[in-house]
């Protein structure tokens, strides 16, 4: 029984060390990575002017 108790304690110590190393290196996989931010290199656009003037719309009306 004594060897099982020692084995359990050593197993808990090893598990604690493994978990500490896992937390030190951070989460693995795509969930731990920050989202990539897109760099915009184009200058800001000028505000649009008034819309162009359009003529009257002529539609055919059924007789």
pLDDT in tens, 9-57: 999 999 999 999 888 887 666 665 666 666 666 667 777 788 788 888 8
**What's the number of domains the chain is made of?**
1
Q: Which two tokens stand for residue 5?
A: 């108790």
Distance of CA 37 to CAs 26, 34, 42, Å?
A: 20, 9, 15
Asked whether 15 and 8 are in contact (CB, 8 A), the reply is: no
Chain centroid to Cα 48, Å, comes to 33
Residue 56 lies in a domain: no
Q: How far apart are CA 59 and CA 63, in angstroms?
A: 12
Q: Look up the domain containing 16 and give its range.
A: 1-28
Q: Which two tokens stand for residue 63?
A: 């007789």
Residue 1 lies in a domain: yes
Give the per-residue pLDDT at 16. 97
Residue 49 lies in a domain: no
Give the per-residue pLDDT at 57. 80
33 vs 6, higher pLDDT: 6
């Amino acid at each position: 029984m004594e060897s099982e108790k020692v084995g359990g304690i050593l197993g808990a110590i090893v598990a604690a060390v493994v978990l500490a190393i896992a937390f030190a290196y951070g989460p693995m996989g795509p969930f731990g990575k920050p989202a990539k931010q897109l760099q915009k290199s184009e200058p800001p656009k000028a505000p649009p002017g008034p819309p162009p003037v359009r003529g009257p719309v002529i539609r055919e009306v059924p007789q």
